[in-house]
Structures are given as structure tokens and as C-alpha cells.
Amino acid sequence: MIDLQEVHLSAVIDAVRANQRFLCISHVAPDGDAVGSLLGMGEILTMLGKEATLALADGVPDNLTFLPGAERVVSADGVGDVYDCIIVLDASSPDRMGNVYREDAHGKSPLVVIDHHVTNTYFGDVDWVEPRCAAVCQMLVYLAQRLGVSLRGNLAEDLLTGLVTDTLCFRTSNTTADVLGAATVLMENGAQLSAITARTLNNKPFRSLKLWGEVLPGARLAERVLWVTVAPEQLAAAQATAGDLELSSVLSAVAEADISATFIQKTDERKAPVVECSFRAKPGFNVSDTAFALGGGGHPAAAGCTVPGTLEKAVPPIVAQLQQARAQQATGQ
């Protein structure tokens, strides 16, 4: 059985029991664990007779709108000013909360952080961080059990979705016996593994295939680091968005690469050019340190960041950093 951070878990339980009106948020560009844990936390609070506003700066992705409770999620416009407590899920740093958290309105409410990223900056009043958990949804299984909340029905489906998507259906290196144990509990409570996998990992639109056709011819491999770049004109040609790319699992399967990366050209809120970076590493290699040094975060096997600049200027030095990190890590093995 996993050795949990009992002091911090107890502090979360105390905060849940002591307060009534909650704002629950997760990170920008939400994935399955972000949405699953957000909806799961909402279910837990509702079953305890609490009030919960669920918010995401970027909304629920189309491929996750099937999840029970997805219709409850609001954007910044639906977030009020006064809450007894704010719970942040799956966010390693405050900038990941986006515009649904406003310091002027929400800064006086206690902030509870529930996360599993090793790069978490511990920015809450209560920080429950479990890097050995494969997903925040795994942590919420333990939280629900401690609170005496039934895992049946919607809660089981929401939480298993986060586990499935963050582990690529239990294929990542952090898939431990405890992860499989949590998944077993959720399946015993009604969550359907095959249905969730079919609607998430095995569910891609045709425009994703078109985008791969635009991007993959430009893939480059050097010093066992593999990378691709995505320009706005390539997205336009495929009539796709950056969220349609989903190339990480494809790139990380290439035998000749230990580390892979995708670089997507975007603009920030001031219309200045930025590059969104996503890194993946095979077992024995670590990309979280590079991401953290660039202002991002994540896990040893999967991390990311956003840096200012264009693809032409930003990508070469980052690739060089990844190559250097990979060489140092290979030497240490």
C-alpha cells in the first residue's frame, strides 16, 4: 500500500469538513486527469452536502464532455468572488490556474492544492502532493475513502478516466501495483475501462491524422532526441487546433529516441509569440528538470513549459538542453 503524506491528507480532510462553499479549479489546457479530478472533487463535495463551483479557464475538451458532471464546469465568467475554500487540482504552480483564479477576489480564502507533480511549487495554504501517484484521480480515490464517500457511479467513471489518460491505459513507467489497485476499486464500483479507453485514448478526429501528415515530415532526430515543430499555417492546412496533435505517445515509441518533444507556435494574451513545449522521456531518463528550468513542470517521464519567442529562435537552444540532459543521464546509468 502506498505510503501517503498523512499530515497533508489530514489537513485536506479538515478543510473539506470545515467549509461549505468551495471553488474547485484545475489547470489550463486541461487533460483527462485535470477534468476527471475536477469533476470527481465536485462529486465528493456534493455527496458531503457541500456547494461546489467547478471552473476551467479553457473549458472541457470535446473528447471529455461525455464525463458525468461536465456540464457543471464554468469559465471565468461563472466564477464568483466569495468562497469559503478554494481547491486546486493537478496544477503544479499558480500560473497554471489561469483566469478562473483572481488574487484580488480569492486571495483571502484558504487555498488547498492537491497534486502529483514532482515539480509542484507548494503554493497553497495546504499542499497535499503525492509524486508517487500516477494521477490526482488516484489521490481522490484515497480521499473519498477517508471521507467515507461512496465511489460508485459517476465518481468512479470520472476518476478512472484520469487514471487511464495519465497512464496511457496503464502503460507508463509510473503504473505501480497501487495504481492498478485504485483502478480495480473504481472498476468494482462500476467504471467501465473499455468504454473510457474507447472515448479517450482511442478516439481521434480525422483532422488529427491530417495534422500528423503536415507535421511528421519535418520530424528530426539527433543525439537520441526526437522533435517536431508545429506552425500556425500547418494547423490551418489541417483545419485543426493544437489540441488535435496528440503525438506524444507516437513519438515516445520511436526506438532510436530516448527523449521526444513537440514545439507548438502560439501567442500569449498580449499577442506576443510563445512556444508551447511538451517533453517525454523513456524509463531511465528525466525531462522534468529541463521543463522546470524553463519555467514549467511535470514528471520525470512527461513534462512541459511555455517559453517566449518563435519556433526558429526558441527550439534550437531547448533541443540542445534536452540533448545535454540526455547525455548526462545516459552517462550516469
**Each residue's pLDDT tens digit, 159-170:** 999 999 999 999
| Mean pLDDT, range 255-271, rounded to an integer | 95
Mean of pLDDT over the chain? 96
Looking at residue 243, its pLDDT comes to 86
Pairwise CA distance, residues 243 & 269, whole Å: 18
| Percent of the chain whose pLDDT exceeds 90 | 94
Residue 118: C-alpha distances to residues 31, 164, 286, 296, 328 (Å): 18, 20, 11, 12, 20
Where do the domains of the chain lie, and which CATH numbers do they carry? 6-199 (3.90.1640.10), 206-332 (3.10.310.30)
Q: Could you tell me the pLDDT band of residue 331, with boundaries at 50, 70 and 90?
A: confident
- Give the burial class of 241: count Cβ atoms within 10 A of its Cβ; 0-12 exposed, 13-18 middle, 19 or more buried: middle
pLDDT of 254 over the 70 cut? yes
pLDDT of 124 over the 70 cut? yes
Q: Could you tell me the pLDDT band of residue 249, with boundaries at 50, 70 and 90?
A: confident
Q: For the chain, give me the number of helices (H) and strands (E)? A: 12, 12
| Mean pLDDT, range 150-159, rounded to an integer | 97
Pairwise CA distance, residues 157 & 155, whole Å: 5
